[in-house]
Amino acid sequence: MKGLNTANIAHKKLDTETTKKRKAEAALTKKEKASKNSGAPKRPPTAFFIFMADFRKSYKENFPDNKSVAVVGKAGGEKWKAMCESEKAFYVEKAAKLKEEYEKINNKTANRGATKSEDSERSSEVNDDAEQQASS
C-alpha cells in the first residue's frame, strides 16, 4: 500500500510542476502579445460608447450621490434602447468620423512598417554590394 501512495504523490507533484510551467508559458505569451500591440493606435469607440460618455456626465450631475457603475450602465442602456434613430444619428456620425480617422492612422502605421522592412532590405542589398566590391 505504501508504494501506491508514494506513486500517487509523485504523480501529483508532476502535475503541479507541469501546471506551473504551463501557467508561466501562458503569462509569457500574454506579455509578448501586449508588447507587440503597445504602439498600435487605440480602436475608436462605437456610437453607444460615445453616447455613454455624455450620458455618464449628465447622470452624475443629476445623481451626484450615486457611486454604482452598474446603475449608470443600466440606465444608459435603457435610454439608448428608448432613443429613436434620429436621436442616435449624432452619435453614429461621430463614431463614423472617428473610425475613418482611425483607419487612416492605422493604414499609415501599417505602411510605415512595410516601408521600414523594405528600407532595411535595400540597405542590406547595398551592404552586400559593398562587401562584394571590397572582397574583389
> How far is CA 21 from its chain centroid?
25
pLDDT of residue 16: 76
pLDDT of residue 106: 84
pLDDT of residue 81: 96
pLDDT of residue 59: 94
**Residue partners of 106: CB distance under 8 A and separation at least 6:** 40, 41
CB 50 within 8 A of CB 94: yes
Short-list 110, 91, 94, 96, CA closest to 41: 110
pLDDT of residue 34: 55
Short-list 104, 82, 105, 96, CA closest to 50: 96
pLDDT of residue 18: 79
pLDDT of residue 116: 53
Question: What is the block-wise mean pLDDT of the chain (136 residues), using blocks of 10 residues?
Answer: 56 69 75 61 92 95 92 96 96 96 84 57 55 57
